[in-house]
Structure 1
Amino acid sequence: MTENKSSFHSALVVSNICNHISITLEMENVQYSTWVELIKIITRSHKVLHHIIPPEKPTVLTSEDEKELWSTLDDTILSWIYATISNDLLHTIIEPDTTIMDAWNRLRDIFQDNKNSHVVTLEAEFSNTKMENFPNVSTYVSV
């Protein structure tokens, strides 16, 4: 990390994360993979990816300044997550005194745990879609 309490960190100047993450993650729209990639890009570009994806060698915080900066960055990235998800998801994952890693893992669990059941549901919908229920082939294909 850094030894100087007044050190500049680029992640702290991102005033509106929605300028960088153009989608809102919602339960209804399956955009989780896209949203994750966008979050990874912004966290990599600001050198804070290790807050959501632990490095192979754990970060050791030795000074109080390093611990304070880590906490500040953690809260900053957490606010990015909260600003880019729907209100329903926010109310599902938000808890007092949570870390970004906790919120990140909760979101992963919501979307990844549902993956198999979602595939089964989509396959069932597809199998039950009949061409005769549509006025023409173009409408059928666009579904």
Structure 2
Amino acid sequence: MTNPGGQTTLPSSSGGPPTETLPGGQPMPPLPAVPPPPPIPGGQANLSLTLAPLPLSFSDTITDITPFIPIVLDLHSHNYYHWCHLFEIHLGRCSLLHHITRDAPPAPHDPRWLKDDLPIIQWLYTRISTELFNLVVTNGASTRDIWIELRRLFQDNRDACVSALNTELRTITQGDRPVGVFCQCIKAIGDELRELGEVVADRSLLHALMGGSTTGSPNRRP
């Protein structure tokens, strides 16, 4: 019999469902058989061993961290603790803080760990001065190794650091710096002393500001 599309349906010789023919009585060509997928050696147990690409992390997508860490760490700028604070925030935001803490041991044989650790090392090297780079650069060092070495440079010999900072606070002068920059310098010294465990009264910072300012105290007469 003929269907509405012009094709003829012939009864099957085997008693099964009728077969369709092309116009003119030619039988429809059979569909090609779809070969089954090749067997996996070892059976289903090897399905879990299929390697997938490593997931992307922030270390893959952030190449310039200057917008996040605008401070360049320097031995003479009193900015270590501010620099550390910014770096800890950035690594925490990227879920990479464990690379500088002791929460998890280094895993240099883990491809994902190594893929994250190397970019962090680059971030560190680009946000420290050349002088510091020459002091801490080491072949094969991890992010944590460099982080610990930087901390040692700035926190060891606490008593000597405190003495030097107190002397600088008493003798600092404005020079040709704008008042705003001079105030920031005094605050940075005070912050560093506090991080070292020293008690710094606001009165001491104000005294340093008035004593070192080129304009002097507002109550001072020329």
TM-score normalized by the length of structure 2: 0.52
Q: Structure 1 CA distance, aligned partners of 2:116 and 2:80?
A: 23
Contact 2:54–2:112 (Cα < 8 Å) also in 1: no
Aligned match of 1:82: 125
Q: Structure 1 CA distance, aligned partners of 2:67 and 2:112?
A: 24
| In the alignment, structure 1 residue 72 sits paired with structure 2 residue 115 | yes
1:69 deviates by: 1.2
Deviations 1:4-59 (A, max 9, x none): 4331112221120112101100001011110001000110000000000121xx36
- Matched positions, count: 130
Aligned match of 1:137: 216
State the SS of the aligned residue for 2:150: helix
Q: Structure 2 CA distance, aligned partners of 1:24 and 1:128?
A: 25
Structure 2 stretches lacking a partner, 5+ long:
1-50, 173-209, 218-222
| In the alignment, structure 1 residue 5 sits paired with structure 2 residue 53 | yes
| In the alignment, structure 1 residue 21 sits paired with structure 2 residue 69 | yes
| In the alignment, structure 1 residue 49 sits paired with structure 2 residue 117 | no
Q: Comparing 99-108 with 116-125, which one deviates more in the overlay?
A: 116-125
Q: Structure 2 CA distance, aligned partners of 1:132 and 1:30?
A: 20
| In the alignment, structure 1 residue 121 sits paired with structure 2 residue 154 | no
Contact 1:5–1:69 (Cα < 8 Å) also in 2: no
Higher RCO, 1 or 2 (CA under 8 Å, sep at least 6)? Answer: 1
Q: Structure 2 CA distance, aligned partners of 1:112 and 1:11?
A: 28
Indicate how the Cα distance of structure 1 residues 59 and 90 shifts in structure 2: closer, same or farther if over 3 A, else same.
Answer: closer
Q: Structure 2 CA distance, aligned partners of 1:123 and 1:135?
A: 20
Counterpart code for 2:80: Y
Superposition RMSD in Å: 2.8
Structure 1 stretches lacking a partner, 5+ long:
139-143
Q: Structure 2 CA distance, aligned partners of 1:51 and 1:118?
A: 28
Q: Structure 1 CA distance, aligned partners of 2:58 and 2:171?
A: 51
Counterpart code for 1:137: G
Counterpart code for 2:78: V
TM-score normalized by the length of structure 1: 0.77
Aligned match of 2:87: 39
Q: Structure 1 CA distance, aligned partners of 2:169 and 2:129?
A: 27
For 1:103, which of 146, 157, 160 is the aligned residue? 146
Identity %: 26
Q: Structure 2 CA distance, aligned partners of 1:134 and 1:60?
A: 49
Select the structure that is richer in helix: 1
